[in-house]
Structure 1
Amino acid sequence: MARINIPPVTRVLLAGLVFQSMLSSAIRYRQWTEHSEIVIPYLTFVPQLSIVYPWTLLTTSLVESNIFTLAVGAATLYYGGRYLERAWSSRELAKFVALVTLVPNFLTFGMLVILFTLSRNESWTLTVVSGTISVQISFLVAFSQLVPAHTVTLFRGILSLRVPRFPLVHLGVVTLLSLTPALSIASFWLALFGFLTSWTYLRFYKTVFPDLEASSQSAGLRGDASETFAFSEFFPAPAKPYVAAFADQIFEALVAMRVCAPFSQADMSAARGESYLQRGTPGSARAEAERRRAIALRALDQRLHAATGTAPSRTPSQQSAQAPGGGGQQDGQRTQHQANAQTATTSQPGQMLGETKFEPDHDDDEDRH
């Protein structure tokens, strides 16, 4: 019998989701009456009752109220968690999940309090805020960053969607379901704030290559300035210009308030190189490996040249050409090692999200020629 290999953080999240959801169901079953609605303020977050239980801002995201949402949440953590943990590292996934859990829950709490203040309807502050919805849409945003040019084909080719379209589709489905008894109104706010929180973190703050954090020279590579991860890319083509103009205004306001820092020219140049690597390879895991490898090699090259006091060369081919002259033997060996490392990353294609295919844009093909 084959052993299922689940990374540690994903394993903990899955165990927590199943255990807490079953515990919640057992408590509600024991306390159920025909004329009352059961809430568990020490396990799920209820704005009016859970203030004295601050840990519920974290635990509530791993509590589902029915078997359908539990199945969706478990599938999200199993497939999405495994992929992201292997692409990022366990530490980065844990940090990401904590962020997209705490921030949306807190913002949803604030929104429910505002609605109560405006309407004086106590039902707003008794709304249960729970479930993995913010994590689900955050994982979709992360996939949109890692594999922006991939297309997922569903129902034997009847429906094909590019990965960056899924967060908006998810938000639309949650919005519709929140108008029915299937989901509470809090689900809409969780999805919306999860979308905004995850994109903001990945766009401006996440360390691009966490393995370099322990190095003596800080890489300083944070965020993702690539055009394929712009906020407007999540929307259909007719809406992109309007969304981009609105997003630019918001970004300028955040920069003025020093909440976000503008991207430097080096960030933009690095992003163009990374997005080219992502669009130019057919395997999702391979694209991520090449993107991470390219950043690592650039940082390693800078450190080596800083140690030797020489100017860094621009391309591996130029380094090979310069190797026979001067003191180029060491540079030639280092260049050969880098070329071998880059070749190794392209030897094994990866898979993600079941049946996917890579479809680069036409302008990308023209650039490569």
Structure 2
Amino acid sequence: MYRCAWQLRPIMAIQLIFYAFSFIPAADVYLAITPGRFFMPNYHLWTIFTFSFYNYSVFFLLSDLLTLFLLDILLSFYSWCEMLKFCAVVNLTTAFSTMCFLFLGYAITFDTELLFSEKICGFIPLLGGLTVVARQTMGGKLLVNFPLGNIRYKHIPFISVVLAALLASLGITGRVSFMMFATGILVAWFYLRFFQKHSNGIVGDLADTFTFSGFFPNHLEPPVAILANTTFNLLLRLKLCRKAPVISVKQPASVMSFTVNISEISRASDIGHTNNPAAETLNLHVSTDSSDLSTSANIPMISKGTTPSSSKENS
């Protein structure tokens, strides 16, 4: 706890206090989100502010404390305002999405336990979102080197979903926890991909290395890319996301290097003079006239009654 930033220590303290409240009977009704009680007729709307800090299991309490440690490490290069915005977007959006899934499940199965027995609480969605941050910042770096293949940071979300599904199937976590974790990954990627505003004015991260298909192993990328592109085109029509901007780069005109062969030019000019006698005669007259002018320009002025020698002496 002492290694975390001081801003995270009060959150850890609140989590420990809320975990102590979990031993009080029916505490989860007032601290966690219960889909059947969030809307009318109960209107437990305040649970939207308390569900993130509440946990009823030691396993989830430890996972939330781990989430805060990872939050301090992975988001250390963000401002605190941006970090809080990321946490709020991921956790709140996932909570409402999970409620929608449970209401949809109730509409299909008419199972009232989906509305009154399932609890939405903790930082589980944020833990899934941090795997996306690790994939974005350190995607190509090597994590573990196995004889059968290398595991890189970009594989963390996929491996985490597989482990979460295994824990849910064994009854350690539960279906709602798995749903929240997987939804948190999707929400975090969608936010970082299309909506996060950076200080330099760029919105989102539309790099080819941060595609959705890149979360999966290499042999699964092609079929996932087809499904992802189809979904992306549908979202474009619904105007829920945008295309990558096309940046036109104006390149300067290329300068072509060439070599002038002086001997070839002189030879060609000689051939041209030989084949054109009129031009040669004209050049001869021009050169003769110019030589006469230059000679006359060098003759000094001699006045009458003087000899050239006297003129030279007077000068």
Under a length normalisation based on structure 2, what TM-score does the superposition of the two structures give?
0.71
- Give the whole-Å Cα distance in 2 for the aligned partners of 1:179 and 1:39: 27
Q: 1:184 to 1:5 in 2, by over 3 A?
A: closer
Deviation beyond 4 Å, 4+ runs, structure 1: 156-160
| Pairing partner for 1:62 from 37, 53, 60 | 53
What are the within-5 Å matches in structure 2 for residues 146-161 of structure 1?
146-153=137-144, 161=151
Matches for 1:225-304 after TM superposition, within 5 Å: 225-266=206-247
Give the direction of change, closer, same or farther, for the CA distance of 1:111–1:178 in structure 2 (3 Å limit). Answer: same
How many Å separate the matches in 2 of 1:133 and 1:159?
Answer: 29
Report the RMSD for the aligned CA atoms in angstroms.
Answer: 2.7
Q: Identity over the aligned pairs, expressed in percent?
A: 24
Residue identity matched to 1:4: Y
Question: What is the rounded CA distance, in whole Å, between the counterparts of 1:234 and 1:84 in structure 2?
Answer: 18
Judge conservation of contact 2:139–2:153 (CA < 8 Å) in 1: yes
Q: Give the Cα separation in 1 of the matches to 2:234 and 2:148.
A: 42
Q: Distance in 2 between matches of 1:131 and 1:151?
A: 30
User: Which consecutive residues of structure 1, in runs of 5 or more, have no partner in the other structure?
Assistant: 32-37, 211-218, 270-312, 314-369
Total equivalences in the alignment: 247
Show the counterpart of 1:113.
103
Contact 2:52 2:121 in 1 (8 A): yes
Aligned to 1:45: 33
Secondary structure at 1:49 match in 2: helix
Instruction: With a CA cutoff of 8 Å and minimum separation of 6, indicate the structure with the bigger relative contact order.
Output: 1
How far residue 125 of structure 1 moved from its aligned partner, in angstroms, is 0.7
The question of 1:139 aligning with 2:153 is answered no
CA distances 1:82-112 after superposition (whole Å, capped 9, x unpaired): 1234211111110001111101111111111
Report the structure number with the largest CA radius of gyration: 2
1:96 to 81, 86, 97: 86
Report deviation, 1:227: 1.6
1:1-369 alignment runs, 5 A limit: 4=2, 6-24=4-22, 26-27=23-24, 31=25, 38=26, 40-51=28-39, 52-78=43-69, 80-126=70-116, 127-153=118-144, 161-208=151-198, 210=199, 219-266=200-247
1:181 deviates by 3.2
8 Å Cα contact 2:128-2:181 kept in structure 1: yes
Q: Distance in 2 between matches of 1:115 and 1:147?
A: 37
- Give the aligned residue type for 1:130: C
3-state secondary structure, aligned to 1:258: coil
1:81, 1:54 → 2: CA distance?
27
Distance 1:260 1:12, change over 3 A: farther
Q: Which runs of 5+ in 2 are unaligned?
A: 253-315
Q: TM-score, normalised by structure 1?
A: 0.61
